[in-house]
Structure 1
Amino acid sequence: MRIGIAGIAIESSTFSPHRTGLADFRVTRGDDLLARYAWTQDTTVEWVPLLHAVSLPGGAVLTEVYEQLKSEILERIAESSLDGLLLDIHGAMSVVGMLDAEADLAAAVRNAVGPNVMISAAMDLHGNVSRDFVQHLDLVTCYRMAPHEDAWETKKRAARNLVRQLQKGEKPHLAWVQIPVLLPGEKTSTRIEPARSLYGQIEKIEAMDGILDASIWVGYAWADEPRCQAAVVVTGDDAEVVQAQATRLANDYWRVRGDFEFVAPAGSLDHCIREGLASGVKPFFISDSGDNPTAGGAGDVSWTLRVLRAYKSRKIIYASIVDPQAVAIARDKSEVELSVGGKIDSGPSGPVPITGTVHKVHQDPVGGTIVVVRTGGLHVIITERRKPYHLVGDFTDLDLDPAEMDLTVVKIGYLEPELYNLAKGWLLALTPGGVDQDLLRLGHSRIERPLYPFDPDMPTPDLTAALLR
């Protein structure tokens, strides 16, 4: 069997003024692409590397960049003779001028490989699964954990399901249904109920005769597109069972729509700072959730930094703010006066003046040159390129220790596993930005209505799954 691997993977906020260019993608081909997947050592399959591009979440992808990457994938498909194709994507890519970029990509790939080649997609559970998209696929699965500790297992499962069906020589039945609910990821973490139990059903469903895979998508809340809502897809050999289980999962999701809560106690930034400082526990983390770069935020919203300047008498880490101009000024100095942030996304707050001492200059493979400026007890991490702070090493590389600080403020939503396990206290600050947790104040205008929670009193929808194959 010859199975190609391709994909364009990014999560894009249409509420962020950031635009994703080619330089934001890590593009792999050939052996470098295959090296991403340990299971390509399977000698029963000839894995054919096409092109894979992955980027840190951000704003919408520039049209010409998307077209360039898509065109190369299609050209490489035309040069290959394939039995199957693994489409490794995120599922929430927005492209300037498009309303369903994944549907466009899937349609183009299907046209290129023809009707008989099987396509299996691996996705993030925050992806969007429209009918226009999924009708071009034979198999699709997504993460079952948020945070996404099972990301690589999901890609392996998508490949394993594809190999199984190719060996059987038949395409599975596929049932799909969208659920008119759109919630932020921080309200749908599988660490807590009801998402824990919803996703906990999947293993039992897969064990049923006639079922191959069952998946639930939360959807992506920070794009203003009709496809943005929850979805369920079930695949397998028994059409009746496949459709029934997809319908049941969708109705289960709808019934608990009002039970979802933030994964951590949430409140205003002022409230979180007061509570954190009063707690006396260390390390204490505050999520600056509205500008989370791993959800699509620009990473340079300065609103929180402006507030933190009033707390310079306390020991605080602010991680982080992207500003290549400020980095270029500070990297060779010991004392600096800077105007930081608010240059990409200036809506909530423009550039913030800070004066201080350069604590550390560090070269990072993701963030580029990183400068830490200390002003009183406030340590401001300024990066050349957008970078998430998920690991203890992200701080120790900068000679910073959250356990020694009164607060560590991180541009993130839910804490990733290392910081989650480290934290003695944690609050979620409802701050402004391109990935604002308060969806109702963002101004969605192109989503399909009625949609919960935008229309809290909407009637119960018909969630009978459509059997697409």
Structure 2
Amino acid sequence: MSGRPVIAIAGLACETSTFTQSRTLAPAFRPRRDTEVIDKYAFLHKGTPLADAADWRGALIGHALPGGVVTRASFEELAGEIIARLTEIVASTPHLDGLWFDIHGAMCVEELDDVEAELLRRVRAVIGPHVLVSASMDLHGNVSRELAHQTDLITCYRMAPHEDAMDTKERACRNLVELLAKQQSSIDSRLRPYKAWVPIPILLPGEQTSTRVEPAKHIYAAVPGVEAVEGVIDAAIWVGYAWADERRNRAIVMATGWDKAAVSTGAEKLAKLFWDSHADFEFVAPTGTFKECLDTALASPARPYFVSDSGDNPTAGGSGDMTWGLTKLLARPEFKDASGPKVIYASVPGPKAIETAVEAGVGATVTVTAGAEVDNIHSGPITMTGRVHSIKHGDENAGTEVVLQVGSVFAILTKLRKPYHKEHDFTDLDLKPRSSDIVIVKIGYLEPELYDMAADWMMALTPGGVDQDLVRLGHHRIRRPMWPFDTNFESVPDLTARFISLSHEPLAGPDE
């Protein structure tokens, strides 16, 4: 390698629940190609240190809103385009030196397991075994032994909520650039770091492992200290993804670096911290049934009082179109009259309801039916009569949004499902969450802006594709024993570091 290294960028990201009825199609990934890939990341823009350090070539990346399993045809379409574009990049340059693998780590595809590793296998067939690969992931992703093997560097977020997402992606790119520079200055151009991998038999939802609270707070706080040790490049802890049923789904610790002893010691330290706290993980907020949460909210003087309708959270993999929560809410006598406590509910998709409301216009009274077009296991479509409070067109996720006032409930209906994480998501619809009595959102832990707005909050343990009661979902393929599915461990699990063979060598050792 001479001059600036050439680095390609590719990856697909979607957090998918195998317990959700919906299916994710190729357009949901909103693919970016060529320079669109570079445009997405400010740290690669012209004039930045990373942009100056390498020649970055965008192949294709796609990031879909979490949801149901990706169809095989959709995956093959997108994976095929990635391979075709990487083939063109390889052909257009004298040397391809690196690849940034931009993924989430919890994508499931029909008829395939461990699909990120499968995609990278296909990528390796094009770019070759000696091109350095650096992967960035969500901490709710899964790192199989095969995925660890196919990569040279790998890291993940250290915060949940993920306020450090861009920092993590930038770190993955910086580590790659630095490794390429080290290779260039070395006699051995195939120099690779050690990779220590430690599987931990724990599989918990993000709502029990938020880094805002203990024990995840102190566990993740230890990561920078391990990374700072001489001879260590990176350290990372994956909680894993709890709402998919594959053998790879579990917590993982990895450390990479040049000092084998330091890498091993650091990985084992983090794994022990995690396991030692396995019985201490609790939900990030008080929990209860939907009824208990509403009763508590009504009795509390705290305003606004937020309630998470957690079972159908579209940013964890829920279908987002369940009507169970809204049906229960509208059945409550406290909200039958417009003078009752002001409640915002976000949200339920209903394309036909949207058409009716838009045609009638703001101020009109309409009767519409919405929801349960995909997920009708727990409740069917809901029919409501109310006043059209507001209409908004052009949302990047929802398309069109309508607020329907039914009694004192302001129900947000959408053409397509949408997460509600920002204050402007509400104020853009002429809603004032800060002066409302209760705000109900399909979410797990509250995202930062909601958390800051909430005077108090509870998480409702509602049914759905991302049900917080993992045991009742019916996993049958995950490894056992696994906490909290199994609570009587006869001994401490083996938390010794497994060293993963280099990406250009055959994978050694069983996929424990």
Contact 1:280–1:406 under 8 Å retained in 2: no
Contact 2:352–2:369 under 8 Å retained in 1: no
SS in structure 2 opposite 1:198?
helix
**Equivalent of 2:359 in 328, 332, 340:** 332
Do structure 1's residue 365 and structure 2's residue 396 form an aligned pair?
yes
> Could you say which residue in structure 1 is the equivalent of 2:81?
72
> Within 2, Cα distance between the matches of 1:352 and 1:25?
29
Who wins on radius of gyration, i.e. which is larger? 2
> Could you say which residue in structure 2 is the equivalent of 1:8?
12
Q: Aligned partner of 1:112: which letter?
A: V
**Unmatched segments (≥5 aa) in structure 2:** 91-95, 184-190, 502-512
Q: Aligned partner of 2:43: which letter?
A: W
SS in structure 2 opposite 1:69?
helix
Q: Aligned partner of 1:72: which letter?
A: E
Do structure 1's residue 276 and structure 2's residue 297 form an aligned pair?
yes
**Equivalent of 1:114 in 128, 137, 144:** 128
- The Cα shift of 1:177 comes to 1.5
> Within 2, Cα distance between the matches of 1:171 and 1:329?
61
> Could you say which residue in structure 1 is the equivalent of 2:373?
343
- The Cα shift of 1:115 comes to 1.2
> Within 1, Cα distance between the matches of 2:382 and 2:489?
43
> Within 2, Cα distance between the matches of 1:362 and 1:439?
37
Do structure 1's residue 315 and structure 2's residue 366 form an aligned pair?
no
> Within 2, Cα distance between the matches of 1:196 and 1:72?
40
> Within 1, Cα distance between the matches of 2:292 and 2:434?
21
> Within 1, Cα distance between the matches of 2:347 and 2:256?
42
> Within 2, Cα distance between the matches of 1:323 and 1:183?
32
Where in structure 2 are the equivalents of 1:411-450 lying within 5 Å?
Answer: 411-450=442-481
> Could you say which residue in structure 2 is the equivalent of 1:286?
307
**Equivalent of 1:409 in 430, 440, 456:** 440
- The Cα shift of 1:439 comes to 0.3
> Could you say which residue in structure 1 is the equivalent of 2:384?
354
Contact 1:281–1:424 under 8 Å retained in 2: yes
> Could you say which residue in structure 2 is the equivalent of 1:186?
207
The TM-score with structure 2 as length reference comes to: 0.90
Deviations, residues 182-210 of structure 1 (Å, cap 9, x unaligned):
00000000000110111101111111111
Do structure 1's residue 389 and structure 2's residue 420 form an aligned pair?
yes
Contact 1:147–1:190 under 8 Å retained in 2: yes
Where in structure 2 are the equivalents of 1:121-132 lying within 5 Å?
Answer: 121-132=135-146
Report the aligned-residue RMSD. 1.0
Contact 2:306–2:454 under 8 Å retained in 1: yes
> Could you say which residue in structure 2 is the equivalent of 1:30?
34
> Could you say which residue in structure 1 is the equivalent of 2:99?
85
> Within 2, Cα distance between the matches of 1:340 and 1:76?
41
**Equivalent of 1:234 in 232, 250, 255:** 255
> Within 2, Cα distance between the matches of 1:273 and 1:200?
35
**Equivalent of 1:147 in 153, 156, 161:** 161
> Could you say which residue in structure 1 is the equivalent of 2:151?
137
Percent sequence identity is 51
Deviations, residues 111-155 of structure 1 (Å, cap 9, x unaligned):
221111000000000001111221100000000000000000000
Deviations, residues 76-119 of structure 1 (Å, cap 9, x unaligned):
22222310000010000010112211111121112221111000
SS in structure 2 opposite 1:147?
coil
> Within 2, Cα distance between the matches of 1:247 and 1:278?
47
SS in structure 2 opposite 1:156?
helix
Do structure 1's residue 468 and structure 2's residue 477 form an aligned pair?
no
> Within 2, Cα distance between the matches of 1:365 and 1:76?
26
Deviations, residues 205-264 of structure 1 (Å, cap 9, x unaligned):
111111000000000000011111000110000112112211221122111011111111
> Within 2, Cα distance between the matches of 1:23 and 1:80?
24
> Could you say which residue in structure 1 is the equivalent of 2:186?
none
SS in structure 2 opposite 1:271?
helix
> Within 2, Cα distance between the matches of 1:275 and 1:188?
24
> Within 2, Cα distance between the matches of 1:299 and 1:77?
35
Contact 2:343–2:438 under 8 Å retained in 1: yes
